[in-house]
A and B are shown apart, each in its own frame.
Chain A
Amino acid sequence: EVQLLESGGGLVQPGGSLRLSCAASGFTFSSYAMSWVRQAPGKGLEWVSGISGSGGSAYYADSVKGRFTISRDNSKNTLYLQMNSLRAEDTALYYCAKNCPPRSFGSYSWDSWGQGTLVTVSS
């Protein structure tokens, strides 16, 4: 059974930094791309960032490009999101999500999700 357990959320001041982690189990972690998807309180879903199985390729939404960095440690089956220069609009529940099996064409979709970790940016 796939399990994804996020941690690292909390309250941070505008301009501050936070590092999220996602511990994965139940599948061959290095074989799958992974993503972070966020949901602001009472709002819809927004893809934030994705990374290939090897970690060699990373992609970002325009809203976080240059401020967030996604990475992974396949030896620890763990996904990370380093968030810098945080803004009030980054306040959201951040989900770690396992990408569907790789395709020769197209972007991301997700077949497993964690429960999320809440990030609140406020003074």
Chain B
Amino acid sequence: DIVMTQSPDSLAVSLGERATINCKSSQSVLYSSNNKNYLAWYQQKPGQPPKMLIYWASTRESGVPDRFSGSGSGTDFTLTISSLQAEDVAVYYCQQYYSSPPLFGQGTKLEIK
């Protein structure tokens, strides 16, 4: 199984500041045949289901604000929120879809400082 580990477990950032969440996979999720990283990011707000934000490690889902960006390749990935808004308070999960089982990271709780 490809295990996903996020850091930090929780994060407090001031409004308008940058938030950075890291995700590391136990094996590479880069598929050499198409040069794509099989890595997604989800946002889960309190009392709501998860929502996909980013797939292929860096492609924003339709309708996702451009302050959200994903980067990284191979085993190390980052989700960046360039200017934190109040509505971004949530738990964020990375997830690999390179192989089964499709595992999630443990989640990072993002709060306002």
Chain A interface residues (CB < 8 Å from chain B) = 37, 44-47, 59, 61-62, 95, 100, 105-111, 113-116
Interface residues on B, range: 20 to 34
A-B contact pairs, 11 of them (CB 8 A): A37-B50, A45-B107, A47-B104, A95-B50, A106-B97, A107-B38, A107-B98, A108-B97, A109-B40, A109-B52, A111-B61
- Complex: A37 Cα to B40 Cα, angstroms: 15
- Complex: A100 Cα to B62 Cα, angstroms: 13
- Complex: A110 Cα to B53 Cα, angstroms: 10
Chain B interface residues (CB < 8 Å from chain A) = 31, 33-34, 38, 40, 42, 44, 48-52, 55, 61, 93, 95-107
The residue on B at minimum CB distance from A47 is B102
The residue on B at minimum CB distance from A35 is B102
Contacting pair A47 B38 (CB below 8 A): no
- Complex: A95 Cα to B48 Cα, angstroms: 11
Contacting pair A106 B61 (CB below 8 A): no
What residues of B have a CB within 8 angstroms of the CB of A113 in the complex?
49-51
- Complex: A78 Cα to B105 Cα, angstroms: 29
